[in-house]
């Protein structure tokens, strides 16, 4: 029986694998609940410094579970489903540890929205990324209309959303939507390597860096720079900052403890 979502902890990396390959990893309520529990469990695990999100089988995710959605009989049921999905993705986006989506095959609809909620994205060459909801007479409802135009030019986001047409990984890399390309069959390995580089950073600085970028984008420049100044001043007082300077002088990697 499918576990819906598997969690593997190794070498300070947590790999979260969507595990419904027979349904192309369609995201339903079970997946959302399991993702939420996994993120809450990992949040306070000091042995985990970074996350990788991927999918089992031949695709990252085909999107939201249409079978479940078709069972809804009222707008309220759909609104509740989208609400749970949105909350889970927001939890991932606001997570204090950096995350990397490892996309292969395709990431459509709610699947791409999951990847958009990650900090960074690695995609296999030839993979397709898209928000096809317009072809069903609706729109993305789990952050897609808002996160995508923050990552690519608004006109590109409009074309993808209003036509429902996907782009390939190579084009996504050109646009900055994808950070790194992987050769076929190597996307998880490439994503893990990127996550390992992230995990080498100081945990407090990693979390603060995420907040500075994400929150600063919503501020005017003067306020954002002031926020940056206060944040780095707090980090200056940490043990990790002292360890980082010592490691630099001794020409060795820092051994950060999140203190």
What percentage of the chain carries pLDDT values higher than 90?
85
pTM of the model: 0.94
pLDDT > 50? residue 1 = no
Contacts of 128 by beta carbon, 8 Å cutoff, 6+ apart: 105, 106, 107, 108, 166, 167, 168, 169
The 8-class DSSP code of residue 61 comes to B
Question: Tens digit of pLDDT for each residue in 175-226?
Answer: 999 999 999 999 999 999 999 999 999 999 999 999 999 999 999 999 999 9
pLDDT of residue 216: 94
Range 10-46 burial, b when 16+ CB lie within 10 A, else e: eebbbbbbbbbeebbbbbbeebbebbbebbeebeeee
Active-site amino acid positions: 113, 133
Average pLDDT, integer, range 22-28: 95
Average pLDDT, integer, range 48-52: 97
CA distance 221 to 151: 19
Average pLDDT, integer, range 16-20: 97
pLDDT > 80? residue 258 = no
Question: Tens digit of pLDDT for each residue in 154-182?
Answer: 999 999 999 999 999 999 999 999 999 99
pLDDT of residue 199: 95
Q: Is 90 in a helix, a strand, or coil?
A: helix
Tokens of 112: 């791409």
Mean pLDDT of the chain: 94
> pLDDT category, 2, cuts 50, 70, 90?
low
Question: Tens digit of pLDDT for each residue in 29-40?
Answer: 999 999 999 999
> pLDDT category, 75, cuts 50, 70, 90?
confident
> pLDDT category, 103, cuts 50, 70, 90?
very high
Q: Which of 2, 27, 5 is nearest to 18 (CA)?
A: 5
pLDDT of residue 45: 93
């Amino acid at each position: 029986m499918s576990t819906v979502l598997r969690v593997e902890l190794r070498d300070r990396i947590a790999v979260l694998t969507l595990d419904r390959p027979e349904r192309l990893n369609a995201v339903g309520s079970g997946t959302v609940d399991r993702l939420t529990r996994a993120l809450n469990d990992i949040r306070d695990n000091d042995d985990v410094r970074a996350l990788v999100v991927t999918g089992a089988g031949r695709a990252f995710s085909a999107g939201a579970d249409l079978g479940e959605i078709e069972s809804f009989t009222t707008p309220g049921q759909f609104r509740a489903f989208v609400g749970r999905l949105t909350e889970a993705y927001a939890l991932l986006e606001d997570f204090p540890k950096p995350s990397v989506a490892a996309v292969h095959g395709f990431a459509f609809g709610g699947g791409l929205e999951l990847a958009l909620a990650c900090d960074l994205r690695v995609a296999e060459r030839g993979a397709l990324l898209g928000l096809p909801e317009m072809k069903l007479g609706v729109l993305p409802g789990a952050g897609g209309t808002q996160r995508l135009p923050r990552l690519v030019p608004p006109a590109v986001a409009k074309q993808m959303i209003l036509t429902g047409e996907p782009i390939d990984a190579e084009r996504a890399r050109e646009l900055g939507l994808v950070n790194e390309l992987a050769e076929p069959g190597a996307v998880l390995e490439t994503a893990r390597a990127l996550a390992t580089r992230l995990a080498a950073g100081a945990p407090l600085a990693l979390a603060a860096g995420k907040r500075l970028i994400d929150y600063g984008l919503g501020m005017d420049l003067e306020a954002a720079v002031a926020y940056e100044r206060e944040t780095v001043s707090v980090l200056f007082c940490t043990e990790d900052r002292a360890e980082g300077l010592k490691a630099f002088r001794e020409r060795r990697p820092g051994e950060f403890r999140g203190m």
